[in-house]
Amino acid sequence: MEINARMFSPLLQIYRQCLQNGDPVEALLNMGSNMPVKSPEFKGSYGMNSMITTYTSGRADELLDYNEVNQVKEIRPLYASTDNVPLPNGDQGTMLAIADITAESYQGVLDKYEEICGRVVKMPQWSPSF
């Protein structure tokens, strides 16, 4: 868990799910208030914050299956279904959604990410392999 002024805030949910006393915001507030900070402890789950990207453009609902997206609690789409997704600027693609995934093992996290991407991505030929 990273605790400093530049901590990566999208990982907050992962920290909270995978670590007991794993809330860096709470730790920062406690430090600033001269209150004791408890050391984080591993709960037994692994986590990953990942992006679902594309290398093409079009309406978001042509690229993501929003019926599936709405069924998957780990996904946060970055576009409304009727939004136009712009062409990527550079070689990193355009982010369609953010996925916060936890599982009981590192391989389990990767398997779950692959399963989720397979469910929600409509044009896998335009997305990095997962």
Cα–Cα dist 78/71, whole Å: 16
Each of the 130 residues of the chain gets a pLDDT tens digit; together they read: 777 767 778 888 899 899 999 888 888 899 999 999 999 999 999 999 999 999 999 999 999 999 999 999 999 999 999 999 998 888 888 999 999 999 999 999 999 999 999 999 999 999 887 6
Domain regions of the chain by residue span = 9-42, 46-126
The amino acid present at 5, given as its one-letter code, is A
Beta-bridged to residue 42, according to DSSP, are: 19
Cα–Cα dist 20/33, whole Å: 21
Name the pTM for this structure: 0.84
